[in-house]
């Protein structure tokens, strides 16, 4: 699994960071950073929830 973010759509709402803080981080500069582009399968549920709950639909999963 690979996490992909469309940074043109992302508003750094940090909802994904609340769900999967080991994968996503919004820093003091108000930009989203992907801490783990290829999280392990046991993180799939959290990453999928992040994809679904992103208000701008800026996150995707590539298998």
- What the block records as the tokens of 16 is 């994904």
Total number of domains constituting the chain:
1
**Max alpha carbon distance in the chain (Å)?**
31
Residue 20 lies in domain: 2-62
Residues 6+ apart with CB under 8 A from 34: 3, 5, 23, 24
- 35 and 25 in contact (C-beta within 8 Å)? yes
Angle of CA points 39, 41, 44, to nearest 5°: 80
Q: Which tens digit of pLDDT belongs to each residue from 5-30?
A: 999 999 999 999 999 999 999 999 99
Q: What pLDDT is attached to residue 51?
A: 98
CATH at 18: 3.30.70.20
- 3 and 61 in contact (C-beta within 8 Å)? yes
């Amino acid at each position: 699994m690979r996490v992909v973010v469309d940074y043109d759509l992302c508003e750094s709402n940090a909802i994904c960071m609340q769900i999967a803080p080991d994968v996503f981080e919004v820093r003091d500069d108000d930009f989203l950073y992907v801490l783990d582009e290829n999280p392990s399968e046991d993180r799939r549920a959290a990453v999928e929830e992040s994809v679904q709950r992103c208000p701008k639909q800026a996150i995707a999963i590539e298998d």
